[in-house]
Structure 1
Amino acid sequence: MPQRDGRSTGPAGGHEGLLARVRATEAAVERIGTTLDAVTTCEELAGFLFRNGCDAVAVDLLDADGGTLRAATAGAEELLAAGSGGTPSPRATDGGHPLSAWVTVAGGVPVHVLSVPLPDGHRVHGLLTAVRARTAFSDHEAATVHFAARLAAVHLGHARQLAATEDTVSHLQRALVSEPGRPHPNLEVASRYLPAGPRALVGGDWFETVRLHYGRTLLVVGDVMGHGLDAAVDMNAYRSTLRDVASTDLAPHRVLRQLDALAAGDAGRRPATCLLVRVDPARGVAMFAGAGHLPPAVFGADGSATLVDVPVGPPLGTGVGGYEAVTRTITPQETLLMFTDGLVERRGEDIDVSLARLAAVRLPPGAGVNAVVDAVVAALDADHAEDDVAVLAARSRPRLPVDPAAAAGAL
């Protein structure tokens, strides 16, 4: 086949043509399907054929509704339009993969067209169209186009299977990391979960809110070590156990002790970090306790952030215990932000530098809890984080003043 870099592979037919076909086949295996992305595979197919004897190439994919989407082109697109008016006739069939050919004339110049469907098993993913002006495709050249199309179809099938698997995993992930439970009406919360990249699997990051007595709410953020289904299963176990233990109304550090002891008794459960904050809006106080987790931040009314100094206990599941609590005031003008390490950590960076970057974030005064989450995620570029990100923000709702006249009328 003639090469785009100007080299000649010899005559299109005969022994030299066969050798050129073999070399092109080897090159196709190396250059088509280097990723598990459907569009990239289409681009590689189009680019390969354009560099190997075609003047123009188009790859169309079928969508879920049966329509077509042009995924990739290469070469002179006007030739694709010129070659669309012919009447296809079968040229070859290999393993049930038909190759059709036809010729049209554009501006007095013959335009030769090859068309190959992209099937994988019983499903057709799309259609390849290869065009060349003036010179017809030899049998060896047509066979190379045919082989490249079949190769791409196999990779497209793998890409579709991966996409379906990722979709299932995404639904499972979001079912496991669902919206937190409803807190008391005196507390406003917002949350965000961001998996690490388009190829992310289920992980162990999670958040939760638990209603307690006397208008208090327990806020929880945790991170099971590792990724994958095993981490997600352990995360769900920690989450369920925490709900049961927290319902006894123990202080946060005592809840951690119970969780640690229960997790340590299960040899198959992975360790996890966890941060608990019990918020009491009526008294304007919050009690903090951590198990190997990063400290939370509190954004003030002016939009500046302060990191809360929480005693660092060992991760859950170690059986070491030794958790302590710290209490600080919190007002309706302040927003508490809890998060997993994916929000701030960057590869090769000291964790103090990472936390300082969060503390340097400035928010517009008076921003609501959802706006706080949005602003922090954007400021730290969490959409491109290297690890999963879970964020939980909370703010006490101010108590409405009581109208003495209305209260007297109610008596």
Structure 2
Amino acid sequence: MTGRDGPPPPPLDQVLLAALAEGTSAGVAVLDTELRYLYVNPALERLNGVPAAEHLGRTIAEVLPDVDARVDVLRLVLADGHPRETTSSGQTRAPSGLEKRYWHGAYHRLELNGRIHGLVGIVLEVSASRQQQRELERARQHLSLLDTAATSIGTTLDMDTTCRELAEFVVPDLADLASVEVFPPVVGPSVRPAPAGVLRLRRAAMAAVPRLRDAVGQFGEPGQYVDYQEDAANPRCLAANQPVMENLYSDEQISRSAPDPERVAAYRVLGLHSALVVPLTSRSHPLGTLTLVRAGDSPVFAEEDVVVARELAGRAAVHLDHARHYAREHGIALELQRSLLSEPRGRHPHIEVATRYVPADRGAVVGGDWFDVVPLSDGRHLKAMGDVMGHGVEAAVAMSHYRALLRLLAEDDLEPHQILERLDLMVERSGLDRAATCLLAVVDRFHSECQISSAGHLPPVFIDPYEGARLVPVPVGPPLGTGFGGYESTTVSCGPGTIVFMYTDGLVERRGEDIDVSLNRLTSLKVPSSGRLDDLLEDTLERFGQDAEDDIAVLASRIRNDPG
């Protein structure tokens, strides 16, 4: 039944309505069956910012075009007579500092003498409670975000990995685009100096939401260096050690956040409109910056975003500082070890030698693997392969001491086991607290024989061009530095063309595998078709060194057929 059936309803008693509704702070409206205003009280005038007279005879959409009034719900109330409550949202003509306002309304059908006159709606603004709910929800999300960060950022001691974890963590919860940029490393490849007034940072990581992912590559890939003019956001952030938040409404504002003027147009095309740059600082030492950018329909950054971003940056900076110290120590140890493993004496006149040193990976601390070849009198030469216990700079320095002492003792033309005996005593008396394994082999090219002695080291492999490879059993004494002594020498045949292959345990030891199984794999080695020792080492490392958990040092040598 509708209001159109039968004669028109009598006019509303305005006096009675005023007496009922004008004293309440809730907005009250009466709508006819076409949902046109018949009456509004003063409270609703104030809520809508529209005088009562401008309401009458007009629909909600005509009076308040920016409000979603849920007309579908109102029509259901008219149709079935069941009262309903609903929430509408939008903006009225009343002044408001809110981005969006909310109203909760209760509606029931107005019936008099069995005829439907329309609807009565009672409306209260709930924007404040909605705002509080949103703020509480954002706070909960931020707390959850910070809690999750503890297990998602800093899972390794690799600096670039930590930067990537940070960038990926903040997208999309805090930003549509994120980049992490750090100062160039102190140890490692040299970087050309930046021009005067320019800040040069290395982009360690980037992350973006899918719609921006393909486009951001134009701004540079991770690993590249970015130059920032002194008035750009990143230098200002680092200079003040404070976040810099900018809403990029104009090209001038965009240029202040861009590293160079050419980026302004690109930023505008992508719809980047809000930027937040946060310093990465640990122990008052600046490490770099975290840059967050929002684009398109995402809201601009607010102060609460700054608080969360700074907390995340602070936590990440602690991990980055640890990774930086590790990278510095790792780099020093690696450079020291490589310099000590170089061949200072040049080409040996009577033997061919090939060597390789391979760190396990960037996540492993450099060890104390070492090797050496020392010419002796009467056409003999001493080959040494050793492994100092432990890792890091201390292990590399200890390795240099062992190598220096060995070269000193080699000048006395002692047999291998005697060299190990004296070296063991010298290390014990010197106070060097790093034990080491060592394998010595003295090859006599005139007598085609080799004397071998081991201080806790794995046996050598002899590779004959015709008979193949074999492990040479050697009596194994205790590691050097223990003071126990008790070393023996073994003499084996070693004619021209036979390759003596020596290595450290990183080549063969694998977790969960018996060492004898690992060693037996080396009996499959053979002289490469090229005949080159370098090719032998490359093939060996390719076959057995891919899943190494420790550093690897390998040495292959043989008597030259043509000493010239």
TM-score category of the 2 structures, normalised to the smaller one? 0.7 to 0.9
SS at match of 1:213: coil
Range with greater deviation from structure 2 (271-280 or 119-128): 119-128
In the TM superposition, residue 200 of structure 1 has moved relative to its aligned partner by 3.6
Q: Does 1:397 align with 2:531?
A: no
* Structure 2 portions without partners, runs of 5+: 1-129, 185-190, 193-199, 219-231, 251-264
- Residue of 141, 145, 170 corresponding to 1:24: 145
Cα distance change of structure 1 residues 178 and 12 upon mapping to structure 2, 3 Å threshold? farther
Which of 174, 179, 182 is matched with 1:59 structurally?
A: 179
CA deviation after TM superposition for structure 1 residue 395, in Å: 0.9
Of 29, 43, 51, which residue of structure 1 is paired with 2:164? 43
- After TM superposition, the structure 1 stretch with the greater mean CA deviation from structure 2, 138-147 or 197-206, is 138-147
8 Å CA contact 1:79, 1:111 repeated in 2: no
For 1:66-105, what aligned pairs fall within 5 Å after superposition? Answer: 66=200, 69=203, 71-78=205-212, 96-103=242-249
For residue 217 of structure 1, report the CA deviation from its aligned partner: 0.6
Q: 1 or 2 for the larger relative contact order (CA 8 Å, sep ≥6)?
A: 1
1:136 pairs, out of 277, 299, 307, with 299
Report matched runs for 1:112-151 at 5 Å: 112-120=273-281, 121=284, 123=286, 125-137=288-300, 138-149=302-313, 151=315
SS at match of 2:171: helix
Instruction: Give the stretch that moved more between structures: 202-211 or 98-107.
Output: 98-107
What residue number does 2:355 align with?
Answer: 191
Q: Which residue of 1 is the match for residue 76 of structure 2?
A: none
Contact 1:180 1:209 in 2 (8 A): no
Residue type matched to 1:74 in 2? A
Q: Tell me which residue corresponds to 2:415.
A: 251
Match of 2:459 in 1: 295
For structure 1, the 5+ residue unaligned runs are 1-8, 402-411
Q: Which residue of 2 aligns with 1:220?
A: 384
Conservation of the 8 A alpha-carbon contact between 2:468 and 2:525: yes
1:315 maps to what in 2?
Answer: 479
Cα contact 2:437–2:457 (8 A) shared by 1: yes
Q: Does 1:353 align with 2:353?
A: no
* Residue identity in the other structure for 1:59: S
- Decide whether the 8 Å contact of 1:128 with 1:149 is kept in 2: no
What is the CA deviation profile of residues 317-342 of structure 1, one whole-angstrom value per residue up to 9, with x for unaligned ones?
A: 34443333222332332211111222
The RMSD of aligned alpha carbons is 3.8
Residue by residue, what CA displacement relative to the aligned partner does 1:20-70 show, whole Å, maximum 9, x if unpaired?
Answer: 44443444444333333333333333333334254x223152565526647
CA contact (8 A) 1:182 1:210 kept: no
Distance 1:257 1:400, change over 3 A: closer
Q: Which moved more, 1:334-343 or 1:236-245?
A: 236-245
The 10-residue stretch of structure 1 (347-356 or 318-327) with the greater mean CA deviation from structure 2: 318-327
Q: Which amino acid aligns with 1:114?
A: A
For 1:33, give the aligned amino acid: G
Task: After superposition, give the CA deviation of every residue in 1:154-174 in whole Å (9 maximum; x if it has no partner).
Answer: 544443343233222222222
Q: Which amino acid is 1:159 matched to?
A: A
Give the match's secondary structure for 1:214: coil
Structure 2 residue 319 is the aligned partner of structure 1 residue 159: no
CA deviation digits over 1:269-313, x for unaligned, max 9? 443322111112233222222222211111121483111122223
* Residues in 2 aligned to 1:139 and 1:13: alpha-carbon distance in whole angstroms: 15
Question: Which region of structure 1 is more displaced relative to structure 2, 246-255 or 94-103?
Answer: 94-103
Q: Against the structure 1 CA distance between its residues 107 and 240, is the aligned structure 2 distance closer, same or farther, given a 3 Å change threshold?
A: closer
The residue aligned with 1:409 is: none
1:6 paired residue number:
none
Amino acid in the other structure paired with 2:528: P
Kindly provide the amino acid, as one letter, of the partner of residue 323 in structure 2: A
Contact 2:278/2:309, CA 8 A, preserved across alignment: no
Q: What's the CA shift for 1:119?
A: 4.2
The 3-state SS of whatever aligns with 2:554 is strand
Question: Could you tell me which of 402, 416, 424 is aligned with 1:238?
Answer: 402
Separation in structure 1 between the aligned mates of residue 352 and residue 413 of structure 2, nearest angstrom: 21
Q: TM-score, normalised by structure 1?
A: 0.79
For the 8 Å contact 2:245–2:276, the answer to whether it is kept is: yes
- For the 8 Å contact 1:182–1:211, the answer to whether it is kept is no
Deviates more, 1:359-368 or 1:244-253: 359-368
The percent of aligned pairs where both chains have the same amino acid is 38
**1:34 matched to 2:155:** yes
- Residue aligning to 2:254: none
Farther off after superposition, 296-305 or 390-399: 296-305
Is residue 156–residue 363 contact of structure 2 (8 Å, CA) maintained in 1? no
Is the radius of gyration larger for structure 1 or structure 2? 2
- 1:107-145 per-residue CA deviation (whole Å, 9 max, x = no partner) reads 999764223154435646245132243242454345434
Residue of structure 1 in register with 2:91 after alignment: none
Range moving further from structure 2, 157-166 or 352-361: 157-166
| Residue identity in the other structure for 2:154 | G
Aligned residue number for residue 344 of structure 1? 508
Task: Give the whole-Å Cα distance in 1 for the aligned partners of 2:373 and 2:291.
Answer: 53
Report SS of the residue matched to 1:328: strand
Output the CA distance in 2 between the equivalents of 1:33 and 1:102. 32
For residues 324 and 107 of structure 1, the distance between their equivalents in structure 2, rounded to whole angstroms, comes to: 77
2-structure distance, mates of 1:318, 1:149: 48
* Counterpart contact for 1:303–1:362, Cα < 8 Å: no
Q: 266-275 vs 109-118, which deviates more?
A: 109-118
Structure 1 residues 203, 239: closer, same or farther in 2, change over 3 A? same
CA contact (8 A) 1:184 1:215 kept: no
Go from structure 1 to structure 2 and tell me whether the alpha carbon gap of 1:372 and 1:108 turns closer, same or farther (over 3 Å shift): closer
Q: Secondary structure at the match of 1:376?
A: helix
Amino acid at match of 1:113: S
CA contact (8 A) 2:349 2:563 kept: no
Q: Secondary structure at the match of 2:529?
A: coil
Match of 2:373 in 1: 209
